[in-house]
Structure 1
Amino acid sequence: MGFSSSFSIISKTCLFLLILFASSASSSPSKDLYDDHCNSMVPKATPTKIDFTDFPLTPFDGNIYYKGGDKIFKQESTEHPYQYPKALTIKPTGNVYQTDVSGVFKFEASLIFRSTVFYSSSSNDPNSKNKGNVAFKLHGFWSDSSGKLCMVGTGSGYSEEGKLLNLEAVLKLNYVKKSNIYTSLVDGTLESLKLENDENYFDPISILTFPSMKSYYYTFASEKSGHSVCASGGLDVLKDSLRGLTTSGDGVCSMFFRWPQTFQLDYADECKNSKGNCNPLGGIAESVPQYMSTQVIQCSEDKQRLRVLLYFSNGSYGAYDRLFDPNTTLVGEGLWDGEKNQLCVVACRILAPEGSLGNASVGNCYYRLSFRFPAKLSIRETSFIQGQIWSNKKVGDSGYFDKIKYRSHDRSFYGVETSELKYEYTEMERIKKLCPPNKEVKKKGSSYPEPLSYQMSVSMSIESSKVKNMWGNAVPLFVGNNFYEQGSHSVIANLETSAAIQNGRLKISYKIRLSLPLGTDLGGGLSAPSSSSEIYPESLISAEGIYDIETGDLCMVGCRELNSSMQISSNQTMDCEIVFKLKFPPSNSRRASDITGTMQSSRRKSDPLYFEELKISSNAYRMYESQRSIWRMDMEIAMVLISNTLAFVFVALQIFYARKNRESLPYISLVMLMFLALGHLIPLVLNFEALFMKHGYHRRFGFEREGWLQLNEVILRVVTMIALFLLLRLLQLTWTARSTDPNQKGLWGADKKAFYVCLPLYLAGGVIVLMVHSIRNHYGTAEGSSSRVIGYHHAQHSLWDDLKSYAGLVLDGFLLPQILLNMFFNSKEAALSRFFYMGTTAVRLLPHCYDLYRAYKYVNWYDGSYYFADHGADYYSTAWDIIIPCGGLVFAIFIFLQQKFGGRCVLPRKFREYQEYEKVPVVSEG
């Protein structure tokens, strides 16, 4: 976090405080708002006690549709071509209270409307990305019996001119606690309480959503009717279907709950010729959607049932960050059929009269869907999930449409055991002709990426003679007969893969994605439309071929799907005349080199499917770099052990110093020693495996390092425990020396004053951390949820991580209580050994100096691999790595000056009030 981002967070914090103050200042008038606008809907009741039971109103967080309020929402603009999808988040905040009226609950909630306009992060305004967001804080009552919810409150947002708006609103929702598919739709309005001529007024906003419900009763997905759903018109039973899909893990929930999944719709030939009843949403055939996406609302593990939303669109992004449109969305119930290994779904339309959402309802439940999992894939069929959607209506009836097949568009395969999944290589004869063995002599000492390694996954920069700014990625699907599981594969191939290698050559299959700028035309139908709902439309290619592990050559043939305009005949739906070649550099090379290659059509130039040759390049992730990263991590583990060892050595030296100078013992700050002891105690109480046993570490690099990590964990526990015991011993010696000396009452008072100063200071810092965390996540939810649209991942810190970082900052300033004690008592006593306060300061500040070096020297190839200067245990950034060491050095200098010239020597002269304390000689016995 640099200076600019720190300033941004501080400014957001100030804005939050301003809004909070404004809302608290207007709290008394808002008491009357509920009486005026909600009392007739849900009469106000008196809260009695906190309700700790599961409240049925679960957070709404993405499957919400709203319409209206255009005045306070940023509108699409040609200046901002990349638009966020609209989004609304509703979630309860604070405690829920029972009231003196049975079935009536009082609670608070926040509403956050996210802007649709994407603002560049390079803008000079640190808040520019959030100026389109509108947030409300509401409170009110919900009636269990009537299902009515009414809340009032205030909010803030920005007008089109950039002026801050102070909004007042009332939220009215119909929310039935016990519901089925027909009553699960929650609808309502958010209305402004300002007059229409007021600049803070906004048009009423209609809201529709399908939240997860505690008391939901499945209407169609029952044991009696569920299995017969697919039998009425679904796909034939697959001969090679994956078995035992729900026998392990969480069953159907593990497979489907991590969706959204996107499916490409495959219409019958009649539909391709614009004939027949083809559109599942009604209307003319020319407007048929091309993709269907799914988003699971909730899932029942015990009954193998789920609720799902089905989105129809013309963009492959599907349900990612999608605000559903009731006109193009179905809501359904699914039940797993274990006998046929398929998921059967009954879906319904959302009936909303044009221009009005107030009377929206669920109906027309004639949609049927089935989802299957093939056990065998090939170059012409690489979809992990297949299915079909149809209507249970008869031909000629309203709502009837022809059966539509679909297959998964994503390459993700969640929650399914892949050991049974096989791949059938069908193009080997062609590949032998197109890709003969490379006769070049293998360079001595060179080694190339292992077939199952992460290095086989390639991010590509692509260019042609006309177009330069294209890119894509190529990820293995199968290596030999092994499914390539991205993120959990090993550098060293297993025995099955090794046995499949013949003369250094191994069969391999890939999924390739090309991202083409809008308007790109490479010929042969390999093009992108001039306008699209997607920022970068993708072209998908499946490929299979041979990888030579002795030369690093990858040669494959590929197949791409043809759109209807490029299909020469109804039987030719794919173009499999593509040759894809890559050349991997040696993985153990210290010289920088790139992956290079080509993708070209093997057809004649006169062929309508011919496209010009594409050149491919990619940065190679060399094993040399991974070895450097491993060496760095080993070094950091050693530095952790050394620094913790030095910590207890410096404490031991302080004990020896105190025993030689017993008169100095009472002058040591007990508050300082307590904070240092807690800093050593808490890591011992917490699970140390979280520090060392980072499973991705050995999985990523393929080395079995558990024994080494466990040994270091044990040593670190022992070292930390010794340091803790020594600190407790020093604390006990200081306490005893001060308690047995009746002339040290002034020290007790000075130490209490130091505690009274430190505690509010630390608590205030903790509150700021909580506020910054809340603000960052508040705005980060809106920014991060659309991160996939622009190709970035937004990672939010957990509250626990932020608190740990703040605790590290407190320990960095461990000398503050001692400085305050010396000031209040005006002590000139050399209470601390120079080895202790300078050495401990160096141990605390060394990680920040190392972090600056590491940022300059190393590339963090693998997130979460920091063991020394762990970013989850303190504040680390260029700014903090300068501020914290400077502050620590200043504290150490203060201690040095205080022990030489007096405790108040660091204060301006007018604040120095010297007060001499006469030492009374103590008569020792015998």
Structure 2
Amino acid sequence: MAALAKNHRLCFILLVVFITSATPSAAALSGSYSSRCVSPSPAADQHTDVDDASALLRSFHITSGVFSGEGADILFAPRSFYAVSGLHQFTDGFVRRSFSLLPHSVSRTTEPGVLHLAATLTLSGSRVQVFESGAGRSFEKERHSISFYLDGYYSSTSAQLCMVGEGSDLSIDGSMKHYADVALHLRIPSPSSLTDPFVTGSLEGADFEPFSLVTYAEGSSYSYGENASCLPEPDSQPAAARRGIQTTPDGNFSCATLQERIATSYRLEYGPGYAVSFPSLHDPRMYVNQVHCTPGGAVRAYAVFSNDTADKWGFRHIFLSEEAAVVADGHWDSDTNRLCLRACLVARSSQAPATPSTRTELQVHECGIGMSLWFPAVWTVRDRSVAAGVIWNATQMNSSDNHTSVGPDALITASSFQDWKGNLSDVKYIYNFTMIEEAKKHYLKAGLSTSKKKKSNGSFLGNYTYSHREFYFPLFFEGETGSGHARPVMIGSAMVDGDHRAANHSFSRHAAAQLKQSTLVNVSYDMSYDVAPKNWSSFGQLERQHIRAEGVYDPTTGSLCMVGCGEHNGSMDCKILVSVQFFGGDKGFGYGGGGRGRISSLRDSSDRLYFPGKGFTVSGMYWRSVVSESIWRMDMESVVVVISTTMTCVLTVLQILHTKRNPRAAASTSITMLAVQALGLVTPLVVNSELVFFNKRKDFAWLSDSDKGWLHLNELMLRVPTLIAFVLQLRLLQLAWSGRISVDRGSEGEASPAAVERKVLRTCLPLYVVGAAVTGVAHMMNVRAAREAELVPRRFAPAEATTLWGDLASYAGLVLDGFLLPQVIFNAASGSRVKAISPWFYVGGTAIRGAPHAYDAFRAVSYAPTHVYASSRDDFFGVAWDIVVPLGAALLAFVLFLQQRLGGDLLLRPRSRGSGDYQLVSTTNY
């Protein structure tokens, strides 16, 4: 009930916001503007070109600002809320208070430098909702947003924007809350620059106290400074060891790729002499959370430094006063594959404003900081950073004749550590064989290689199936709070981290063969888990830990032994032993399987980096559960396919009998309709033969060889009923053709069946050709767009990768969905009311064609990854298709129903030519 009420309130809020946004507020520029806004002064609008207005709208668009202050606590939940018992505390938690500004219209005015602007300001945050029940009072934190429709003026001279308006909101108790006389004050620099990069301001109203708003300027009107310079390249870091930025098809710099790689968390390591250069920087973490760039390679960014190592960056505020931050701009150097930036520290202004609660003043200073970021092309156990870099004192370097005076001791090094899901096919991995040998020593010392008992327990990873996904496993710590996962990076010589398509290819080419041939296989893992810190309470936050390990895996015993590196007590510790023993089973690991493992220190207990060992359990594999569910769904869908195709055969037989019992039906049946059905049945048979034998190996790579062989046989068996339906369709076509020839011999003129059929062809054939051409053009456009986005070609609806033939096969299914169209046109052209088509045939056929779309809608909700039934190779699927296709098919069936009772020309009654029945002649009943 709570969820239902919450959804109801959300719909109501959206309706109010829509009405408010769509209705111009006449009061916006009344006397309230002059009372709330001292400047800029209102001015009359004048004509603004469309292109100019579009550029101006983009310059005022804000998407990621934050707000804070006492006034915000009136609109949202307080910062701290205590239940009556005092035992529970609720804070804003992980819901960041943010705002966005969406401009609706902008125009220039008669006053130079003054713009008239209308926009919607949306505040997003959270609030506490109280539920009363028999068990007592409960509290739940929910996301919440409030929108204000505002109108006002902006002065480019003073960079001040002032807008007034009103807003509406639903209170927690469900009552309507109206906010009147609201004023927004923003300072928007134009252009923004490295020394003036922020938008700051306040929001105030008659019903709440003023509070501050701040964001990093997002508009395109940014004035980049002079090109920043990087440190001279060290001999140990040649340009060849760094990955470049893939360019767009037109050869330009790819801003999207840069943003994707840079905006992440970084671990910072400070050199011994850093304090002289950076007395205000000492935090162990840095997060680059905003990146903007131009096609020419100019880049600007905002980065936050933090002492919080919990790695919950996705929920953090980005403009908190206690955090150090920098703004930077520069350029991407394609020759050395480095991003060179000049940065400035950000701090609150020492000169407090008159009303501190209403505005956050940010000041940029100390702009002598150099930053350089790059993307390593070589990974090791110690460094698997997608992005890495250094920070140094650029003023010190520029003031010295010897640029090398900035030594390693004075640098801050940065390395990213969050999971990466992009394509890493161009990254080379180098094993640390010292760690491999040490892991092998501990493996042999444990006696796992001589355990014959374990070998008889059943199948393990790698000796029954060959998919890199199987090597991913979740872990849960024993006797303490904490859980995590282990993700394979390398299996043998195959890198399987990153993009799953590249991982599949690499695994099938290298790792699978090595698992079959080798007793011990070199492996590399990334482990990430959350643990409870000291003095942790149930309301506290867990700390995230990372281990990067290398070692050996024995697929015959299911034993994994690795030595790795992890951050501990503020230092990097590379003496961590990770051992896992997977459980075997007759059905393979994951059905009833699991395992046990341990993370322990190889150091003496007196060492400051020593830590007590942690035992963990490995649950059944996630991918195995998906496989089990997928196999069940494939079996179920296979049964549905057999039922639907069998019903098609039955309906065709009924139509054949109907045609034999009614001699007039054959002449009134559209040959085009029957030909469309025949072609619609044979096209998937022809095209999918390639997909069965070639693409299935890719689509179901996670199945064992025996399972894939059975799947191929099953696919062929599923096509047999379709082949039978095709043969029956040819028989029906032969009956209709024979009956047509007999009638044509006794009919002449425009009313003859042959003449009417020609009209049907002249109408339908161009439609089908145009549809096929549109399908081909859309396919080529999708391929081009996919290449630009570095993706594989996709169908019109979400589905697997496809070819042009595959899309044409889907189009054939779409034509088959409208198989009644030629018959409807035939009846309309002939005016016939002969019941040529059996109700079983057209009603049943329509239901069969609509059922896959209904199932696809269900599958989208229930997340069923299988496509045996309602396959995108047989038709177009998606939200729009699943609605339009059944409705269109049902409409054609209804029109045909009316035509066979009221006359085929009922829609063209003024041009009716009578009954339209054909003159029958003696014929042999075939």
TM-score (norm 1): 0.66
The one-letter code matched in structure 2 to 1:88 is S
Matched-pair contact (CA < 8 Å) for 1:650–1:840:
no
- The aligned counterpart of 1:13 is 11
Q: Write out aligned runs for 1:608-623 (5 A).
A: 609-621=610-622
Match of 2:100 among 71, 86, 90: 90
- The aligned counterpart of 1:390 is 392
The one-letter code matched in structure 2 to 1:335 is H
Cα deviations across residues 812-838 of structure 1 (Å, max 9, x unaligned)?
xxxxxxxxxxxxxxxxx9999353235
Match of 1:418 among 426, 430, 435: 426
More helix by share: 2
Matches of 1:440 and 1:708 in 2, distance apart?
47
Any idea what SS the aligned residue of 2:433 has?
A: coil
- The aligned counterpart of 1:139 is 151
- The aligned counterpart of 2:124 is 114
- The aligned counterpart of 1:595 is 594
How many aligned residue pairs are there?
756
Matched-pair contact (CA < 8 Å) for 2:272–2:410:
no
Matches of 2:663 and 2:94 in 1, distance apart?
64
Matches of 1:17 and 1:127 in 2, distance apart?
27
Matched-pair contact (CA < 8 Å) for 1:305–1:333:
yes
Matched-pair contact (CA < 8 Å) for 1:600–1:612:
yes
Cα deviations across residues 169-226 of structure 1 (Å, max 9, x unaligned)?
222323344342223322222222x2xxxxxx22223222223332322114x2xxx2
Matched-pair contact (CA < 8 Å) for 2:33–2:164:
yes
Any idea what SS the aligned residue of 2:434 has?
A: coil
Match of 1:211 among 213, 217, 229: 217
- The aligned counterpart of 1:523 is none
Any idea what SS the aligned residue of 1:17 has?
A: helix
- The aligned counterpart of 1:281 is 280
- The aligned counterpart of 2:718 is none
Matches of 1:9 and 1:207 in 2, distance apart?
29
Any idea what SS the aligned residue of 1:580 has?
A: strand
93 and 372 in structure 1: CA distance in 2 versus 1, 3 angstrom threshold: closer
Match of 2:292 among 268, 280, 298: 298
Any idea what SS the aligned residue of 1:62 has?
A: strand
Match of 2:823 among 730, 735, 744: 730
Matches of 2:509 and 2:143 in 1, distance apart?
57
Matches of 1:640 and 1:679 in 2, distance apart?
26
Matched-pair contact (CA < 8 Å) for 1:138–1:151:
yes
Matched-pair contact (CA < 8 Å) for 1:559–1:576:
yes
Cα deviations across residues 757-792 of structure 1 (Å, max 9, x unaligned)?
xxxxxxxxxxxxxxxxxxxxxxxxxxxxxxxxxxxx
The one-letter code matched in structure 2 to 1:365 is C
Cα deviations across residues 855-888 of structure 1 (Å, max 9, x unaligned)?
89x9659999974999833699xxx9xxx99x99
Match of 2:474 among 435, 442, 460: 460
Give the Å deviation of 1:47: 5.7
Matches of 1:107 and 1:584 in 2, distance apart?
66
Stretches of structure 1 that go unaligned for 5 or more consecutive residues are 195-200, 283-287, 521-528, 568-572, 666-673, 742-828, 903-918
Matches of 1:579 and 1:413 in 2, distance apart?
24
Q: Write out aligned runs for 1:85-484 (5 A).
A: 85-97=95-107, 105-116=115-126, 132-143=144-155, 147-157=159-169, 164-168=176-180, 169-192=182-205, 194=206, 201-220=207-226, 222=227, 226-227=228-229, 229-231=230-232, 238=237, 242-243=241-242, 245-246=244-245, 248=247, 251=253, 253-258=255-260, 259-268=262-271, 281=280, 288-302=282-296, 304-316=297-309, 317=311, 319-325=313-319, 327=321, 328-353=324-349, 356=353, 357=359, 360-392=362-394, 403-412=411-420, 418-436=426-444, 437-440=449-452, 442=455, 446=459, 448-449=461-462, 453-464=467-478, 466-467=479-480, 469-484=481-496
Matched-pair contact (CA < 8 Å) for 2:472–2:488:
no
Cα deviations across residues 655-696 of structure 1 (Å, max 9, x unaligned)?
98997499999xxxxxxxx9xx99999898457869999999
Stretches of structure 2 that go unaligned for 5 or more consecutive residues are 82-87, 354-358, 400-405, 671-762, 903-911, 920-926
Matches of 2:177 and 2:116 in 1, distance apart?
27
The one-letter code matched in structure 2 to 1:113 is L
Matched-pair contact (CA < 8 Å) for 1:264–1:409:
yes
Matches of 1:87 and 1:37 in 2, distance apart?
25
- The aligned counterpart of 2:908 is none
- The aligned counterpart of 2:77 is 74
Cα deviations across residues 447-473 of structure 1 (Å, max 9, x unaligned)?
734898342453423222x31x42111
TM-score (norm 2): 0.66
The one-letter code matched in structure 1 to 2:815 is M
Give the Å deviation of 1:508: 1.0
Give the Å deviation of 1:279: 6.2
Matched-pair contact (CA < 8 Å) for 1:132–1:157:
no
Matches of 1:478 and 1:403 in 2, distance apart?
31
Give the Å deviation of 1:256: 2.9
Matches of 2:669 and 2:489 in 1, distance apart?
70
- The aligned counterpart of 1:797 is none
Residue 535 of structure 1 pairs with residue 541 of structure 2: yes
Any idea what SS the aligned residue of 2:55 has?
A: coil
Give the Å deviation of 1:619: 1.9
Give the Å deviation of 1:507: 0.8
**In terms of mean alpha carbon deviation, does 889-898 or 351-360 score higher?**
889-898
Matches of 1:875 and 1:7 in 2, distance apart?
31
463 and 246 in structure 1: CA distance in 2 versus 1, 3 angstrom threshold: closer
The one-letter code matched in structure 2 to 1:730 is Q
The one-letter code matched in structure 1 to 2:477 is E
Cα deviations across residues 573-599 of structure 1 (Å, max 9, x unaligned)?
415142322426469639822331211
Matches of 2:146 and 2:121 in 1, distance apart?
8
712 and 861 in structure 1: CA distance in 2 versus 1, 3 angstrom threshold: closer
- The aligned counterpart of 1:54 is 55
559 and 118 in structure 1: CA distance in 2 versus 1, 3 angstrom threshold: farther
Residue 721 of structure 1 pairs with residue 815 of structure 2: yes
Give the Å deviation of 1:262: 0.9
Cα deviations across residues 8-64 of structure 1 (Å, max 9, x unaligned)?
545433343345556778933334144554584152433646623433415322254
Matches of 2:152 and 2:379 in 1, distance apart?
55
The one-letter code matched in structure 1 to 2:12 is C
Matched-pair contact (CA < 8 Å) for 2:595–2:618:
yes
Matches of 1:862 and 1:897 in 2, distance apart?
33
The one-letter code matched in structure 2 to 1:300 is T
Matches of 1:140 and 1:115 in 2, distance apart?
25
Give the Å deviation of 1:308: 0.5
Matches of 1:448 and 1:349 in 2, distance apart?
51
Give the Å deviation of 1:435: 1.1
- The aligned counterpart of 2:558 is 552
Coordinate RMSD, CA, aligned: 5.9
Matches of 1:394 and 1:923 in 2, distance apart?
97
- The aligned counterpart of 1:579 is 578
Q: Write out aligned runs for 1:903-922 (5 A).
A: none
Matched-pair contact (CA < 8 Å) for 1:587–1:621:
no
112 and 177 in structure 1: CA distance in 2 versus 1, 3 angstrom threshold: same
**In terms of mean alpha carbon deviation, does 315-324 or 119-128 score higher?**
119-128
